Structure 1
Amino acid sequence: MAEKSAPNAFLRGGSRTLLPDEERLHYLPNLDVDRVKVLCGNCYEHFEASSETTLIDDRELKVFVWARRTFLAE
C-alpha cells in the first residue's frame, strides 16, 4: 500500500454486517473533517470525528464514531 493511501482513520461503531472490521480502516486526505460518510449497499453510514486516536499495526489512527445511517432515495 502506498504511503499516501495508508490508513489514517478508524471507523468505530455501527453495523458490522454493513461495514465489516476489515473495512473500518480508511485513508482520508484531510483529517480535519467533522464527519465521514461511507456508502454501504443502499445506505450511508455516518461517522463523526472524536478527539481519540487508536494504535493499529504501529500506526496512530484518528477515531471516527458512528452517528447514524441514512438510506438512498429510490
Structure 2
Amino acid sequence: MLDGGEVIEAHVFDDLMVKEIRLLLDWDVPLHVVYVVHHDRRLIVFRTIYLPTLNEWQPGFRERRKRHG
C-alpha cells in the first residue's frame, strides 16, 4: 500500500520517528494514509486512512488549504 503513493506531508518528531501522510490515487477515490514510522524498531504504525475533502485540501489533495483567522 505504501509503495504506490506519494508522501505529501512529513513531520519529524526526532531522529527515530516520522509521521507521514501519503496520497494514494490508485483506488477509485483518492485516499490519505496517515502512519508513523519508528526507525529504531523498524515498525510502521497506521493511524488512519480517510477520504480527503476539498474543505481541507486543495484540488489534487496534495496541499492543505490555508486556514484564515
Normalised by the size of structure 1, how large is the TM-score?
0.31
Asked which structure has the greater CA Rg, the reply is 2
- Comparing both chains, which one has the higher relative contact order based on Cα–Cα distances under 8 Å and sequence gaps of 6 or more? 1
Normalised by the size of structure 2, how large is the TM-score?
0.32
Give the structure with the higher percent helix.
Answer: 1
Give the structure with the higher percent strand.
Answer: 1
